[in-house]
Structures are given as C-alpha cells and as structure tokens.
C-alpha cells in the first residue's frame, strides 16, 4: 500500500426539527467541511491523527480530542484495519458549537474519506455508527442524528438501540427551503452536554407517546410534500425545546419574526443557539432569514442565510 488517500465533503445539519430529538435531522447546503485522509503503512496498531485544521472556523479546534480522529479510529477498529497511520486534514467552514452539526460533519467526512482511501465500502449503518461514536466527545453521549444527515443527505430519520444503528433512512423533502440564523453569542465549550443536562430525566408515558407521534407524522408529512403540516409539527415539541429555549438568546423574538415574515415552521437547531425556519422557496427563505437576523440584534451579531437540503457525504465526489 505505502500511502493511499481519500477525500470527502460533508454538509452542516440541523437536528431534532422540533419533536424528533436525536432521531431527525436535515442536511443543509449553507455550510460544509472537507476532509483529506492519507493512510500509510506503519507498524503496530492502527492509529488516526488529526494533522491540520484550516478554514474560516479552524481557530481553537482541538486536534487530539477531535471527533474526526475518534471516528476514524472507530472505523479502523471496526473494519479490522491494522498496521496503518491515518493522517486527517480538515477544512472547516461550518461554525462549531452553534447547533449545526459541525463536529458531526467533520466525523462524517472523515470516515467517508478514510473508507475511500482504503477502498472499503462499509454499509451506511456502520459509517453512521463510527461517526456517531466520534460525536460522543462533543455531546458527552453518542447521538446519530447529525452524522446520519451529513452522511445520507436531506431529511433523515435514524433509529438506534443502545449503540446499534437499527435503521437510517432519507425521507423525500421536495420543495422545502430553510432559513438559518446563527447567533454569534458566546457558548460554553461543553454546550451540547449542558443543553442535554437541562432536559427532563423522565417523561410521563402519555407525553412521550404524543411526541413520538408528532415526530413520526412530521416524516410522513415530508413524504407527502405537505410543508404546512411539517411546519406545524416542527413547533409541536413539548419536551426538549421548551426546556432549552430559555437558554437560547433571542429565541422568542426570532421565532416571532420568522412566523410574521411567512415561515411555515420554526425550531431550535439541535442544541442551539442556531434556529431554523421552514419556507416554501428561496425568496421566502431569504426574507425570513433577514427578519430573523434583525430580531437577533438584541443579542449581538448573527449570521443568517437561506439554505436548501444538501446531498450526503456518501454522494459527493471530491477531487
């Protein structure tokens, strides 16, 4: 072998879509990370190393504890590849710590690039498992929604039992556009862990069942191209978003602005602070994004832009 190389691009993703905590996410083409992996023969156990991180959001990214390194290590171990050193170089243009699946995208692109370099073709389920393990670094526990969206593209639903990925599907999502606002407020280094710690530990069965029903109906609505129903369902989470919204700067102001400017739905993106609105068409998404940015001025700078669903890392060839 001597040395072989692989490249991949993974887009940002926005998890939960309201009631679909840890099971729904959508890949968004507004931001992406690219990864180059060089795998060389080396003695002993397989090892992955992040060699460089460049790009607009490279500052302060941890190389050793990086999700990409852990994800590639999981891939090498899971696919029984020994005696190699995998050097990972990341181009990071997804803002980290904002609820846009930045670490998940790096992990997703890294496992695809490493698999391409080695000529391996693991199933999407296995790749989701490897990339999700990498994600546990940033969240404190593994969750697979962001990595599944970045790997498969579009709107995904992922089902796990323990650490086993039972099913991951991409649902049709015709005609949907999204408006994203990213408040550039300071967030703690363990923001996702914190935003998971504020969630209720137990939920009455009736409430949980109602939330499951609403997330399942959201996927069905997407299947039928019923964007109005999707939008209503996005705003029907009674468990996670109410607990987190009080820690999200300008949440109420931004939600009001989005709905007044024509959004069909609105939700907190993953653990935030980014927020996302559903729109029909690009023009509407642009208008909503700019209203959301204005509403964010109460808490400082914000990036806002329209976005459409992105392809998955498994589909995008990078030369």
The answer to the question of residue 98 lying near ligand HSE (CB under 6 A) is no
Residue number, 82 or 189, with CB nearest to ligand HSE: 189
The answer to the question of residue 241 lying near ligand HSE (CB under 6 A) is no
**Residue 270 C-beta: closest distance to ligand HSE, Å:** 3
DSSP code, position 199: S
Of all residues in the shown chain, the one whose CB is closest to ligand HSE is 270
Residue number, 199 or 209, with CB nearest to ligand HSE: 199
Two tokens at 237? 């989470």
Q: Pick the stretch among 16-24, 83-91, 256-264, 307-315 that binds ligand HSE (CB under 6 A).
A: 16-24
Q: Which residues contact 209 (CB under 8 A, 6 or more apart)?
A: none
Two tokens at 75? 């891939």
The answer to the question of residue 196 lying near ligand HSE (CB under 6 A) is yes
- For residues 108 and 147, the answer to whether their CB atoms sit within 8 Å is yes
Residue number, 101 or 153, with CB nearest to ligand HSE: 101
CA distance readout (Å), 108 to 62, 113, 179:
17, 9, 23
The answer to the question of residue 143 lying near ligand HSE (CB under 6 A) is yes
- For residues 116 and 315, the answer to whether their CB atoms sit within 8 Å is no
**Residue 101 C-beta: closest distance to ligand HSE, Å:** 6
Neighbours of 188 (CB within 10 A): 10
Q: Which residues contact 61 (CB under 8 A, 6 or more apart)?
A: 53, 90, 92, 96
- For residues 9 and 292, the answer to whether their CB atoms sit within 8 Å is no
The answer to the question of residue 15 lying near ligand HSE (CB under 6 A) is yes
Q: Pick the stretch among 138-146, 214-222, 256-264, 308-316 that binds ligand HSE (CB under 6 A).
A: 138-146
- Residue appearing with tokens 């607990």: 243
**Residue 218 C-beta: closest distance to ligand HSE, Å:** 15
- For residues 85 and 47, the answer to whether their CB atoms sit within 8 Å is yes
The answer to the question of residue 270 lying near ligand HSE (CB under 6 A) is yes
Two tokens at 71? 């994800």
Residue number, 118 or 139, with CB nearest to ligand HSE: 139
Outline where 141-239 has alpha helix (H): 145-152, 191-197, 205-223, 227-234
The answer to the question of residue 67 lying near ligand HSE (CB under 6 A) is no
Q: Which of 271, 285, 292, 314 binds ligand HSE (CB under 6 A)?
A: 271
The answer to the question of residue 16 lying near ligand HSE (CB under 6 A) is yes
Q: Which of 66, 67, 192, 236 binds ligand HSE (CB under 6 A)?
A: 192
- Residue appearing with tokens 């490279």: 58
DSSP code, position 128: H
The answer to the question of residue 215 lying near ligand HSE (CB under 6 A) is no
Residues 17-46 interacting with ligand HSE (rule: CB under 6 A)? 21-22
The answer to the question of residue 248 lying near ligand HSE (CB under 6 A) is no
Separation CA 138–CA 195 (nearest Å): 12
3-state secondary structure (DSSP) of residue 143 = coil
Residue number, 87 or 101, with CB nearest to ligand HSE: 101
Residue number, 121 or 197, with CB nearest to ligand HSE: 197
3-state secondary structure (DSSP) of residue 162 = coil
Q: Which residues bind ligand HSE (CB under 6 A)?
A: 15-16, 21-22, 99, 101, 139, 143, 145-146, 192, 196, 270-271
């Amino acid at each position: 072998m001597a040395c072989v190389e692989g490249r991949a691009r993974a887009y940002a993703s926005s998890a939960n879509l309201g009631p679909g905590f840890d099971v729904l996410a959508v890949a968004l083409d507004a931001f992406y990370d690219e990864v180059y992996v060089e795998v060389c023969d080396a003695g002993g156990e397989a090892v992955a190393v992040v060699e460089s991180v460049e790009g607009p959001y490279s500052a302060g990214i941890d190389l050793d504890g990086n999700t990409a390194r852990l994800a590639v290590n999981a891939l090498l171990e899971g696919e029984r590849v020994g005696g190699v050193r995998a050097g990972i170089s990341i181009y990071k243009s997804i803002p980290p710590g904002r609820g846009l699946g930045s670490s998940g995208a790096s992990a997703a692109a890294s496992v695809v690039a490493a698999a391409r370099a080695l000529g391996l073709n693991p199933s999407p389920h296995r790749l989701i498992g490897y990339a999700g393990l990498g994600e546990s670094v940033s969240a404190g526990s593994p969750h697979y929604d962001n990595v599944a969206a970045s790997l498969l593209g579009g709107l995904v639903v992922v089902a796990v039992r323990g650490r086993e990925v039972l099913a991951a599907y991409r649902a049709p999502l015709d005609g949907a556009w999204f408006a994203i606002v990213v408040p550039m407020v300071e967030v703690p280094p363990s923001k996702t862990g914190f935003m998971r710690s504020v969630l209720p530990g137990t939920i009455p069965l009736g409430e949980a069942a109602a939330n499951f029903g609403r997330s399942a109906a959201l996927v069905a609505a997407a299947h039928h191209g019923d964007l109005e129903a999707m939008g209503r369902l996005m705003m029907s989470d009674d468990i996670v978003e109410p607990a987190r919204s009080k820690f999200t700067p300008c949440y109420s102001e931004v939600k009001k602005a989005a709905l007044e400017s024509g959004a069909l739905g609105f939700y907190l993106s993953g653990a935030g602070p980014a927020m996302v609105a559903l729109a029909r068409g690009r023009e509407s998404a642009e208008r909503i994004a700019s209203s959301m940015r204005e509403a964010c001025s109460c808490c400082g700078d914000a990036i806002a832009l329209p976005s459409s669903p992105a392809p998955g890392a498994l589909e995008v060839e990078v030369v």
